[in-house]
Each structure stands twice: as structure tokens, then as C-alpha cells.
Amino acid sequence: MAILKIYKYPHPVLRAVGERVTAFDETLQTLVADMIETLYACTGAIGLAAQQVGQPLQVFVMDMAAASTKDQLRVYINPEIVQASRNKTMREGCLSFPEYLANVKRPQKITVKAQDQWGQWFEQEATMLEAVCIQHEMDHLNGVLMIDRIESLKTDWITRQPKPLNPELADEEAS
């Protein structure tokens, strides 16, 4: 396993639409393991999409416990939202925009259908922050970033004090 470099905006890989996964082979298993290790190397992170580590595929990993227990780890491959509720504005952060938070409107309750890392389909209902995280990571899989979802840079784009990233994870050049 390896900790992968996380690409920051405006790197073009973040705009890549991910290809559907059809081979649940050793290459995919290695990518998933590396993404999980990378997620846990980022203190407080709860989700990581393949585009963020330079792989334009329909894959993301998520752990709502933010690595405190690792018992909530999920792998989502080829995910689709099959049901969504009304929207609510919530604050989001992103490893590809470490200096910012954004107020984004998203459904507060969703049902998602996806495959796990072995190709088995599952369906999951998610609410509030968990639903937001799934939708945020699914946006990455389609080349959509949180900056695309805000209504106003003045009111919805918030500068924060960045936490120091492990230098191995930082993208030195944005291009």
C-alpha cells in the first residue's frame, strides 16, 4: 500500500469524468487499498475520490468516523443516486481545496446504489453529513467541484486556516 498524492484545484484531473469500472482485478484492489491509506493519512478527512489521486474512475472511499475506528469504511464503485429528498444548505470541505469551505445546497437524504471493491451491488440510505459526503465524492467522479455548486463567492466561499498537509500528499504544481 502507498499514500498517494492528492491533486489540488485547478489541476485538470479534477475535471475528468471517471470511467465506469468493469474489472474488479488486482489493479483495482491496489488502487482501493492505496486510496484508503491516503484517506486515513489526512486527519479529519471522511471521503476521497479517485480523481483526487489522479485516477479518472468511478471510485471513492468514505469513512464517517474519520479514521477513529475504521468500522464505517465503505468503498463505492460506479455509484448512482436512486432517490433524493429536498435540498438543505450545509458546509463542505475538500482535500482539493484545503484552504476553503463552501456552503452547498444538496439533498439531505439520499439512497445510493453502488458496487463494493469486489463488484457486489449494495444499496444504502444516507442522511445529513453522510449524504453530503456521498454526493460530494460523486461530484468528483463526474468532474464537478464544490466551487461549481456555490451560488456566491462572496457569501458561500469561506477561507479557513489550512491544516498542514503531509508533504507527500500535496500537489506541488497545480498543472
Q: 61 or 167, which is more confident?
A: 61
Distance CA 69, CA 41 (A): 14
pLDDT value, residue 173: 44
What is the reported pLDDT for 130?
96
* pLDDT reported for residue 168: 60
CA–chain centroid gap for 19, Å, is 16
d(CA 160, CA 158): 6
Residues forming a β-bridge with 33 = none
Please report the pLDDT score of residue 71 as a whole number.
79
Prediction pTM value: 0.90
Nearest Cα to Cα of residue 52 among 94, 90, 93, 80? 94
pLDDT at 91 over 70: yes
Identity of the residue numbered 122: F
pLDDT of residue 15: 98
Residues forming the active site? 137
pLDDT in tens, 39-62: 999 988 999 999 999 999 999 999
Greater confidence, 69 or 91?
A: 91
Q: Would you state the pLDDT for residue 175?
A: 38
**Residue written as cell 439512497?**
111
> Does the pLDDT value for residue 174 go beyond 90?
no
Does 33 have pLDDT greater than 90? yes
Domains and CATH numbers, the chain: 12-159 (3.90.45.10)
Alpha-helix runs per DSSP H in 53-96: none
Q: Which of 26, 22, 24, 21 lies closest to 50 in space, CA to CA?
A: 21
* Start-to-end Cα distance in the chain: 26
